[in-house]
Structure 1
């Protein structure tokens, strides 16, 4: 039976009874590790977006957060204490909209099905009385033995995206905030704007006013037109650096859709190539 990709804090407490349950804090920012050490959900180990979930080199070639090599990521999973039998739950401090969703996508992309993202993230779990801890926590190292030797979820690369901008059979979805999409502001990348012919469905539309994921039924109404009008392999999601786009892919999976293409390089790569 397919696992539901979103989990609530009250459900999470019951997961402690599951053998090989693992909880990970994937918050981001320049002081993310320091904040984790000060306060995190009990039993959560820290995962670093930049060193564990990306292989950062030249943003012009792959964007700000390109994927690490497949085998490098498999090694990282073992170092984090994850094996094939692990039931993994991930959270961040941005309603799952940042590195939690990215880590979820990467695990699913290596064929790991038992992975969920904590609805509402750190703040909501804390407000619900979930137990907290401080200091560093970790799990014993393991060896992750994958069934595959490369990523299993669909990706698309910059040359293919360029062709897609000229092909009406494709749709490109930009999940960044509308002001970034419109080029009104750009707080991170060098150039403001968006990929030619891209639509804007901000990732914030996946969430209700409390910062929780909308129901699968409501999410289905948001995205049904995409899947009614385009084949799954011709739908492309992107963001600034291939991280937040995974939040919308997570929402799509929660709503029961097949996961479409992720353009990992996203605007950070596209904008640096004068396209």
Structure 2
């Protein structure tokens, strides 16, 4: 039985906005992300940088464009951001949770932090609902976060596992990129277009309705039920371009009541650079 939904509505966040244990984080991305944050963000939210806080970027050939940081480094980051064991963490971005909000959610869950949610609809929907905005540069008092674990607690696979899965009909590789990237018609980011052999396309955008909100758990359950009926969860691998947007679909799966399957963090950005 799940204790808490991974999605929080704007109206619910508003009722909790004065809670002392609430920690709100803005994880929008792009070259001007921090500048845009300083112009306008949800009241009391603190900016988190995908590239420096949620990844340790080196060579995309080894780990992809956004490899996870070392676990112990991420635990230090959690403390610097002002999160402790009792914190209720709410995360949003400017892409309906489809980008770094879901990645930060996955990382906190994988670090053992249970009280973490993504804001449904993100910044735009909150603004449309008249949630208070600010241009102040906020921060929370630093903590000493002590995890019960020494490594990530949610399932992952690496490139060798994916290579095996690409030739195993009992496995499935789920590519959440938009269909034109999956089909190799266009590739705006990585060096090579196409998809991993044995991959099926479930675009992350299908998790959302016409208003940019997550579809209901019942609708999402219908969308993904065939996957979980046909394949053992240990044989299901989700990936995207760089291990970020795939977390949006893992978030949707958790919202629908499924166990969270494997994440391939290296994703297409690593796979396509290895000549496989």
Q: What is the CA-CA distance between 1:180 and the residue it aligns to?
A: 0.3
TM-score (norm 2): 0.99
User: What is the 5 A alignment of 1:57-136?
Assistant: 57-136=58-137
Structure 1 counterpart SS, 2:14? helix
Q: 2-side partners of 1:15 and 1:106: how far apart?
A: 23
Q: Residues 182-231 of structure 1, C-alpha deviation per residue, up to 9 Å, x if partnerless? A: 00000000000000110000000000000000000000000000111111
The alignment partner of 1:57 has SS state of: coil
Q: Residue 3 of structure 1 corresponds to which residue in structure 2?
A: 4
> In the TM superposition, what is the alpha-carbon distance from 1:17 to its structure 2 partner?
3.9
For residues 244 and 32 of structure 1, the distance between their equivalents in structure 2, rounded to whole angstroms, comes to 17
**Equivalents in 1 of 2:129, 2:168: separation in Å?**
48
Q: In the TM superposition, what is the alpha-carbon distance from 1:169 to its structure 2 partner?
A: 1.0
**Which residue pairs with 2:26 in the alignment?**
25
**Cα-to-partner distance string for 1:51-105 (whole Å, 9 max, x where unaligned):** 0000000000000000000000000000000011100000000000000000000
SS of the residue corresponding to residue 157 of structure 2 reads coil
Q: Deviation digits for residues 128-182 of structure 1, max 9, x if unmatched?
A: 0000000311101001110111000000000010000111110000000000000
In structure 1, distance between residues paired with 2:270 and 2:143: 34
- CA distance, structure 2, for counterparts of residue 215 and residue 18 of structure 1: 27
Separation in 2 of the partners of 1:180 and 1:31? 25
Match of 2:238 in 1: 237
Question: 5+ unaligned residues in a row in structure 1: which ranges?
Answer: none
Partners in 2 of 1:252 and 1:65 — Cα distance?
A: 22
Q: CA deviation at 1:15?
A: 1.5
Q: Aligned partners of 1:233 and 1:94: how far apart in 2?
A: 29
State how far apart, in whole Å, the 2-side matches of 1:138 and 1:172 are. 39
TM-score w.r.t. structure 1 length?
0.99
1:180 paired residue number = 181
CA distance in 2 between counterparts of 1:136 and 1:270 reads 38
Aligned CA RMSD, in angstroms, stands at 0.7
Report the secondary structure of 1:33's partner residue.
Answer: helix
2:79 aligns to what SS in structure 1?
helix
In 1: Cα distance, 2:178 partner to 2:58 partner: 26
Unmatched runs of 5 consecutive residues or more in structure 2: none
CA distance in 2, matches of 1:14, 1:131: 12
> Which residue of 2 is the match for residue 34 of structure 1?
35
Matches within 5 A, 1:190-209: 190-209=191-210
> What is residue 259 of structure 1 aligned with on the other side?
260
* Cα distance in structure 2, aligned partners of 1:19 and 1:136: 18
C-alpha distance in 2 between matches for 1:261 and 1:43: 33
| Cα distance in 2 for residues equivalent to 1:179 and 1:41 | 34
Alpha-carbon distance in 2 for matches of 1:245, 1:21: 26
